[in-house]
Amino acid sequence: MLKKITLALAIGLLMLSGCATKPNKISAAYVSPLQYKDYDCKQLGNESERVNRRVTDLNASLQKKADGDNAKVAVGMILFFPTLFFTDGDGPEVAEYSRLKGEAEALQKAVIEKKCG
């Protein structure tokens, strides 16, 4: 009995490692603010809006994926083990989200450097 419980827990932990990452755990990739050196304040504002809108959309999508994976793991651990094989894990959205967070930081730095109000 103890072996079965230990095996189930070990498999559960392995499956959790394949779950989608929550967006608040994804760090920003470095993006140089120099790429925005030729932008004026209006262009920086427009680009910031575009990037922030996409970050918000991806955040919602990634959170939904992570929540779905957590639910699948819970069901798999309690009711139906094969559902553990259907967790989504991380996809290309994570890389895009990380890059966009970096772009948002770079844009913020560019706005500060240009003294945009």
Q: Is the distance from CB of 116 to CB of 44 less than 8 angstroms?
A: yes
Orientation of helix 41-78 relative to helix 92-113, angle to 10°: 150
With CA atoms as reference, report the closest residue to 88 among 63, 53, 116.
63
pLDDT of residue 83: 47
pTM of the prediction?
0.67
pLDDT along the chain (117 residues), means of 10: 59 53 86 96 97 95 75 53 51 88 97 92
Q: DSSP state, 7?
A: H
Domain boundaries along the sequence of the chain: 2-113
Backbone angles phi, psi at 20, to 5 degrees: -65, 140
In the chain, the N- to C-terminal Cα span, in Å, equals: 66
CA distance 91 to 84: 17
